[in-house]
């Protein structure tokens, strides 16, 4: 098993075609086919099956593709970290951003990293907290924003911000950001909710129980963008973190107010793996991310957010 075979394997899995993979790898098609055939003979299992839609990995192939992709990524990181210039921080850093915070943080984080450390190749992924945590555990992400999580055997967690959840409605509802809306009033409207099992949904369901309210859920989705679009389409209200709707409220696209009776809060944390060496590149990006978050809160662009105080252990 060699790197050329692994690259061929991953490329075919990504594009679904030996011909297209050969073009991308700058090889002739028979050479790519031979690499996969040699790999299958060595392992004793078929790695791909032909379908009407192209080449699809078998179950064994999908397992090897996942491992091979990770190995190739680690080699890319190693090459990037071996900087020829002393004192220059280089490397590939993959950052996980919560979907709700990505729109506000991605651009300034990228600007800061490329300005201060042009030798770092930054890769940004967005998802919900549960997916991001799994990606860190699997080694696909170097550091990530998560929420409502404490340190685990596999993760070091640093609390950064405590933020309140907001009720979100069409502009015609006239919600006032300076006047919290009781949860019972929110629940009186049809609701567009995060999918069951989602950490945000767990917070909302807990608040509903505390308020003694029974909400009518019209639709569930795992996309914050869809939640907002469905609200605008007249399908109900929703509940989201303040940072996810700050721009929409500012330009009048949506109306929103903090949820009260009870208040609903979440804690945003920075998660990093306990195992393995923290490279200078990862450390530099982590510091830049924390700085951008502090700046966003201090400038009032993260609604109803409080910076975490390590001395008091609260936000």
Q: Could you read off the pLDDT of 98-131 as tens digits, one per residue?
A: 998 998 999 999 999 999 999 899 999 998 888 8
Q: Where exactly does CATH 3.40.190.10 map onto the chain?
A: 91-161+267-307
Q: Which tokens is 103 given?
A: 């729109």
- Nearest residue to 8 via CA among 35, 26, 28, 30: 35
Give the mean pLDDT of 127-151.
Answer: 88
Is it the case that residue 18 has pLDDT exceeding 70? yes
The listed CATH number (3.40.190.290, 3.10.450.50, 3.40.718.10, 3.90.226.10) that belongs to domain 163-265: 3.40.190.290
Q: Where exactly does CATH 1.10.10.10 map onto the chain?
A: 3-82
pLDDT at 151: 78
User: What are the pLDDT digits (tens) for 156-167?
Assistant: 999 999 999 999
pLDDT at 85: 67
Give the mean pLDDT of 9-35.
Answer: 90
CA 8, 14, 17: angle at the middle one, nearest 5?
70
Give the mean pLDDT of 256-274.
Answer: 93
pLDDT at 1: 79
Averaged pLDDT of the chain: 90
Note whether 256 and 165 are within 8 A (CB).
Answer: no
Q: Where exactly does CATH 3.40.190.290 map onto the chain?
A: 163-265
pLDDT at 199: 82
User: What are the pLDDT digits (tens) for 36-88?
Assistant: 999 999 999 999 998 888 889 999 999 999 889 888 888 877 776 665 666 77
Note whether 240 and 199 are within 8 A (CB).
Answer: no
Percent of the chain topping pLDDT 70: 97
pLDDT at 184: 94
**Topology of domain 3-82, per CATH?**
Arc Repressor Mutant, subunit A (1.10.10)
Superfamily of domain 91-161+267-307: Periplasmic binding protein-like II (3.40.190.10)
Is it the case that residue 281 has pLDDT exceeding 70? yes
């Amino acid at each position: 098993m060699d790197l050329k075979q692994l690259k061929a394997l991953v490329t075919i899995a990504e594009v679904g075609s030996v011909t297209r993979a050969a073009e991308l790898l700058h090889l002739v098609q028979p050479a790519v086919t031979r690499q996969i055939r040699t790999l299958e003979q060595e392992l004793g299992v078929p790695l791909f099956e032909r379908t009407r839609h192209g080449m699809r990995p078998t179950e064994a192939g999908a397992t090897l593709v996942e491992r091979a992709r990770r190995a190739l990524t680690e080699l890319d990181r190693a090459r990037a970290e071996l900087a020829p210039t002393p004192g220059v921080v280089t490397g590939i850093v993959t950052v996980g951003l919560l979907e709700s915070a990505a729109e506000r943080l991605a651009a300034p984080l990228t600007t800061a990293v490329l300005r201060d450390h042009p030798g770092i190749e930054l890769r940004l992924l967005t998802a919900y907290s549960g997916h991001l945590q799994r990606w860190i555990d699997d080694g696909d992400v170097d550091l990530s924003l998560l929420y409502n999580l404490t340190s685990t055997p596999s993760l070091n967690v640093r609390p950064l911000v405590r933020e309140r959840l907001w009720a979100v409605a069409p502009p015609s509802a006239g919600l006032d950001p300076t006047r919290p809306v009781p949860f019972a009033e929110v629940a009186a409207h049809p609701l567009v909710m995060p999918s069951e099992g989602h950490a945000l949904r767990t917070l909302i369901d807990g608040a509903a129980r505390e308020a003694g309210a029974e909400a009518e859920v019209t639709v569930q989705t795992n996309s914050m963008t869809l939640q907002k679009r469905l609200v605008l389409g007249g399908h109900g209200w929703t509940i989201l973190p303040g940072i996810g709707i700050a721009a929409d409220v500012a330009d009048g696209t949506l109306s929103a107010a903090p949820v009260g009776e009870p208040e609903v809060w979440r804690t945003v944390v920075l998660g990093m793996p306990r195992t393995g060496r923290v490279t200078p590149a990862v450390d530099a990006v982590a510091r830049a991310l924390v700085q951008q978050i502090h700046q966003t809160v201090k400038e009032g662009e993260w609604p109803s957010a409080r910076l975490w105080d390590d001395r008091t252990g609260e936000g």
